[in-house]
Amino acid sequence: MRFSAAPLKELPPGTRWLAVSFFAGWMAKLLFGYGFLAHFALVPDLFLGRFWLWQGFSYIFIHSGFWHFLFNTFMLWMLGRIVEPEMGTGKFLLYFFGCGAAAALLTAAVQPGSAIPVIGASGAIYALLGAFAFMHPGVTVYVYFLFPMSARMMAFLLGAVEFVMTIAHTNSSISSITHLGGLAAGLLWLWGERRWRQGPAAAEFFSPASLWPGASGADKPSPAAAEKAEVDRLLEKISQKGQASLSRSEIALLDGYSKRKGGRA
């Protein structure tokens, strides 16, 4: 499955709104400085000690510098245009802020009493990475544009790296626990939602055989069978929600399948 770039004007509404909000938060930090951070960054001592709970959401929009802002906005652009159409805008925003808040809660719980402000959308962005991996686990991605692996493997690898960085207690200015919290919250959210709908079959995403085919002794489905199963899923989706519920990548998959498999009248 291929995902092509999308111009800014064609981005889904929720993703566009978040990108503009990132810019506004970055500019506000430049204009108002530390006083702004004290109120709207995630300061664990204030978040838990004084119950300044809005910080669990407001910290997402603030970035430390141009490159921090640019990288998170780029990742939002890359992931939001894929994840939002499949979730729907309302659920997408609820998921984004819910996972961002969960990442903030974990960060404050691990660092209680800290007066060091934590800022940035990375926790929520990691949740979008988790959503992409959960929705398209077999898609090949290039980590750092160099190393090919499945999206599922990427999610587990990033989670392992952030976990090691968290327990290593490095002096890095990057809050690895926030990244880990966002990724874990996103995967657990979607897994719990799928398990509620499908039962024990939802556990497949976390099984060893899903990461290393053949580990369970089962035969790997053929590409043709996997494609047919995906087409059947999309047709069922159309019958339930209409064609407007399909993303551009899903429509392209159906078009390609019909051209290769369809006959002529």
Q: What pLDDT sits at residue 232? A: 76
Of 26, 25, 23, 59, nearest in space to 40 by CA: 59
Contact 87, 151 (CB under 8 A): no
Domains, the chain, in order of start with CATH, read 10-208 (1.20.1540.10), 221-260 (no CATH)
Question: What per-residue string of b and e applies to 169-179 under the rule 16 or more CB within 10 Å gives b?
Answer: eeeeeebbbbb
- Average pLDDT on 200-211 reads 55
Q: What pLDDT sits at residue 126? A: 94
Asked if residue 23 has pLDDT above 60, the reply is: yes
pLDDT digits (tens, 9 = 90+) for 244-260: 777 777 777 777 766 66
Asked if residue 212 has pLDDT above 50, the reply is: no
Tokens representing 4 are: 């092509």
pTM above 0.85, yes or no: no
Tokens representing 198 are: 């499908």
pLDDT digits (tens, 9 = 90+) for 39-78: 899 999 999 888 899 999 999 999 888 888 999 999 999 8
